[in-house]
Chain A
């Protein structure tokens, strides 16, 4: 009978050891696991300097400017604290629109503009039919800017 408890303790010990090791590793890798930086983090200097990184945030409604005759586009990305201008040339995902969460991959140029070579759309965890979305918009209309 005693052996069973010994085996149980051994399994628990191994599991605890691996758990702590993984937790420490993930803490050490924290920055590398972040998929994107918010504009607030960028202005606070947390984003890697002079290297490519991903910028995530919401497209400010009405800030999208397309250059006619090309795929060039510029828009403002915000996390409701800071705002960063983004320039991009290429194909956009279907969900890209005013107010949408996006993730842009690229670098910041000298003028403080984020030049992206890839733009992904992030969608939220909410699912509803269009009528419900309309109704919600009317209720919460004042809160949205």
Chain B
């Protein structure tokens, strides 16, 4: 098992594997997002309270979910890189940061556009919104810490520690709507008891979420490959390629 673990962590192996997987994930992302968009904008019925305005959920919820998933993945990769000294793990973490920041920004922007007509305000300092904003700052902080260090090894270690420490914010974001009174409503999909969303509205949402996940995987692998190229620019396997 250790052998396969280290084989997977070897840059040439990862480079080849990612190159093989990228088109599959890319095509899956394209199909799922197209189907989900059609399902969400055309097939799903209007909401009983919010009418057609609720349809922004099909972008807002997947991007918010992916922002948390991207951070968790980035922190895990950075932690593995710190503990086992695996450079590939740091490369993956560095590749994930800008994508995660984009998802976070998208979640905040769509949430703001949704909040104005429904709640009556663009922004409120409630627990959910504030902790998601902190997530954006964590991503940006990680990226600037990397950019501030010319030495890749030092950048890996410094930014990696920030990524790992920042992971405490992830459960805070998730449970913020339960722990405190907030303007943001509670969870819809992961909830005990009666379903909070009907099936004809739910399936496009789940499709979009899986589609966003595939899109994230695609871009992550493309970016991680270019990270590997940069880090291994003097190595022999690259010259042989």
Contact = CB atoms under 8 A, between A and B. Distances in A.
Nearest to B75: A15
Q: What's the dominant secondary structure at chain A's contact region?
A: mixed
A49 interface: no
A107 interface: no
B121 interface: yes
B148 interface: no
Contact of A56 (B181, B191, B197, B198): B181
A4 interface: yes
Contacts of B57: 127
Interface in B193-222: 196-198, 200-201
Contact of B201 (A4, A127, A130): A127
A126 B85 CA distance: 46
Contact of B188 (A18, A121, A125, A129): A125
Interface in A66-100: 91-96
Nearest to B45: A129
Given A11-B79, A35-B126, A127-B54, A120 B183 contact: yes
A11 B198 contact: no
B119 interface: yes
B118 A15 contact: no
Contacts, number: 116
Interface stretch (B8-16, B93-101, B160-168, B228-236): B160-168
How big is chain A's contact interface, by range?
35 or more
Interface residues of B, number: 42
A30 B24 CA distance: 47
Nearest to A56: B181
A127 B47 contact: yes
Given A4-B84, A11-B83, A123 B165 contact: no
B21 interface: no
A38 B82 contact: no
A8 interface: yes
A22 interface: yes
Interface string B106-143: 00000000000111110011110000000000000000
Contacts of B186: 124-125
Contacts of A35: 124-127, 180-183
Contacts of B165: 14-15, 18
A44 interface: no
B185 A129 contact: no
A129 B198 CA distance: 8
A128 B48 contact: yes
B18 interface: no
Contacts of A4: 83-85
Nearest to B185: A125
A93 B183 contact: no
A121 B46 contact: no
Interface of A: 4, 7-8, 11, 14-15, 18-19, 22, 26, 30, 33-38, 56, 91-96, 103, 118-133
20 contacts: A4-B84, A4-B85, A11-B83, A15-B165, A22-B172, A33-B127, A33-B180, A34-B180, A34-B181, A35-B183, A56-B181, A94-B118, A120-B183, A123-B49, A125-B187, A127-B201, A129-B48, A129-B198, A129-B200, A130-B48
Given A36-B181, A94-B117, 19 more contacts: A4-B85, A7-B85, A18-B165, A22-B172, A33-B180, A35-B126, A35-B182, A93-B119, A120-B120, A121-B119, A122-B183, A125-B191, A127-B47, A127-B188, A127-B201, A128-B47, A129-B48, A132-B48, A133-B48
